């Protein structure tokens, strides 16, 4: 194991120029130089007729014109697709407000304009309702449970490059789908932690169960243990069957990756979301009492198997809080998210809430120049 000195990243490729408002905008200006302070961008036009508002603390927002029906709204989306995608590469997310998107079929039509290719949902980690045609509920986790920022499927060897969320029913209170710029998160993480993660990556340990988390039959979409084993072998996941027939898996992944188009380094993982220290203390105590120290449905470690302290987890959590942008949902809103530049999460909420999600533009991890190669550790992390 080489000694940890400082975070050194390989040089990213030259970034492409991004045409915004007819002017070439060099992404060099937003390359991660590890400087924390950046001037807040002012509203700019991302193309003809498309004003992008960038209020502080909120995702960029585009107000669509009024359309009495979906057909002209879809045409409008098609006309502005390139500008919206350009904004997405620049800001990591963009909300489109005011379209007559009223059901899953409407949402699928918008998705077909904005996202080129569908991406599957593998190694499921959250309960979702399937509305067909690649449209799901964003999550069926209880309303009281906030979800910390994470990059979708950051633990799989291929993940969606783009996510599209849509609001059919806005909650009475809370319930925003939060987003956070993971370029900025990487800059803000304390150097000592960043260096550990840059060298070792992060380790995910999952225990599958009917009682906590998801059963392996749901996560791997099969009833056949041999199919799970073959999947694990092909996808660099360590697995063991436990005495009760349940499954435990371990997978090491890079904590920092490079965006395949912009060449920017980003913090890309589920580390904080699934770390034991970010559970409510009461919940953590009950889970540890019930399932034991290595039996949590999800737990995360530094990639060498070492834990982080409660104080370090709080530092990572603070960074997520600092970079979180949120906008309350309104019926018909669409939120386009670059799953590599941005993490997403969910606030707790009250009232009915129906948020759809579709995933697409799959990206292989190998295209993101992981700093740490994937690995399948066989042994439990040591205390």
Integer Cα distance of 50 and 73 in angstroms: 14
**Residue for token pair 């380790």:** 203
Strand ordering across the sheet containing 247-253: 238-241, 247-253, 202-208, 298-302
Output the smallest distance, CB 126 to Fe ion, in A.
7
In the complex, the smallest distance separating the C-beta of residue 155 from Fe ion, rounded to whole angstroms, is 12
Closer residue to Fe ion in complex, CB, 152/338: 152
Binding stretches for Fe ion (CB under 5 A) = 152
For residue 80, give Cα distances in angstroms to 88, 236, 245, 366: 12, 40, 52, 31
Measured over the CA atoms of residue 315, residue 253, residue 258 and residue 333, the dihedral's sign is: negative
Q: Which is nearer to Fe ion, 152 or 264 (CB)?
A: 152
Least distance to Fe ion, CB of residue 139, Å = 7
| CB of residue 134 to Fe ion, shortest distance in Å | 15
- Residue with Cβ nearer Fe ion (86 or 357): 357
Minimum CB separation of residue 177 from Fe ion in Å reads 9
Closer CB to Fe ion, 7 or 137, in the complex? 137
R_g (Cα) of the chain, nearest Å:
21
Least Å from the CB of residue 123 to Fe ion:
13
Q: What is the number of the residue whose Cβ is closest to Fe ion?
A: 152
Considering the complex, state which of residue 152 and residue 299 has its C-beta at the smaller distance from Fe ion. Answer: 152
User: In whole angstroms, how far apart are CA 279 and each of 25, 188, 284, 317, 348?
Assistant: 41, 22, 6, 11, 14
Residue closer to Fe ion (CB basis): 45 or 218: 218
Nearest CB to Fe ion, comparing residues 76 and 136:
136
Q: For Fe ion, give the closer residue by CB, 73 or 340.
A: 340
Query: In the complex, what is the shortest distance from the CB of residue 119 to Fe ion, in angstroms, rounded to a whole number?
Result: 13
For residue 344, the minimal CB distance to Fe ion (Å) is 6
């Amino acid at each position: 194991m080489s000694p940890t000195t400082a975070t050194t990243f390989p040089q990213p490729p030259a970034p492409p120029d991004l045409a915004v408002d007819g002017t070439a905008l060099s992404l060099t200006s937003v390359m991660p130089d590890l400087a924390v302070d950046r001037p807040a961008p002012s509203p700019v036009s991302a193309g003809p007729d498309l004003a992008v508002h960038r209020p502080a603390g909120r995702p960029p927002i585009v107000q669509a014109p009024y359309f009495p029906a979906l057909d002209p709204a879809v045409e409008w989306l098609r006309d502005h697709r390139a500008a919206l995608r350009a904004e997405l590469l620049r800001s990591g997310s963009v909300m489109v407000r005011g379209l007559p998107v009223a059901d899953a079929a409407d949402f699928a039509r918008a998705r077909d304009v904005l996202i080129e290719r569908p991406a599957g949902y593998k190694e499921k980690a959250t309960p979702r309702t399937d509305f067909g045609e690649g449209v799901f509920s964003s999550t069926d986790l209880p309303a009281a449970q906030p979800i910390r920022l994470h990059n979708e499927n950051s633990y799989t060897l291929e993940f969606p490059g783009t996510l599209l969320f849509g609001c059919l029913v806005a909650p009475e209170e809370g319930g925003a789908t939060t987003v956070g710029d993971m370029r900025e998160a990487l800059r803000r993480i304390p150097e000592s932690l960043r260096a550990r993660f840059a060298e070792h990556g992060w380790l995910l340990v999952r225990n599958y169960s009917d009682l906590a988390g998801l059963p392996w039959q749901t996560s791997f979409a099969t009833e056949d243990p041999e199919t799970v084993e073959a999947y694990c072998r092909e996808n660099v996941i360590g697995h063991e069957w436990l005495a009760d027939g349940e499954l435990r898996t371990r997978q090491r992944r890079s904590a920092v990756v490079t965006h395949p188009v912009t060449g920017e380094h980003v913090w890309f993982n589920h580390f904080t979301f699934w770390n034991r220290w970010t559970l409510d203390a009461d919940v953590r105590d009950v889970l540890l009492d019930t399932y034991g120290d290595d039996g949590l449905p999800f737990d995360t470690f530094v990639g060498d198997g070492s834990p982080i302290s409660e104080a370090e987890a709080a530092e990572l959590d603070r960074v997520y809080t600092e970079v979180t942008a949120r906008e309350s949902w309104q019926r018909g809103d669409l939120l386009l998210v670059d799953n590599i530049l941005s993490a997403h999460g969910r606030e707790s909420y009250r009232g009915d809430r129906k948020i759809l999600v579709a995933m697409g533009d799959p990206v292989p991890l190998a295209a993101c120049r992981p700093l740490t190669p994937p690995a399948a550790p066989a042994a439990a992390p040591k205390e």
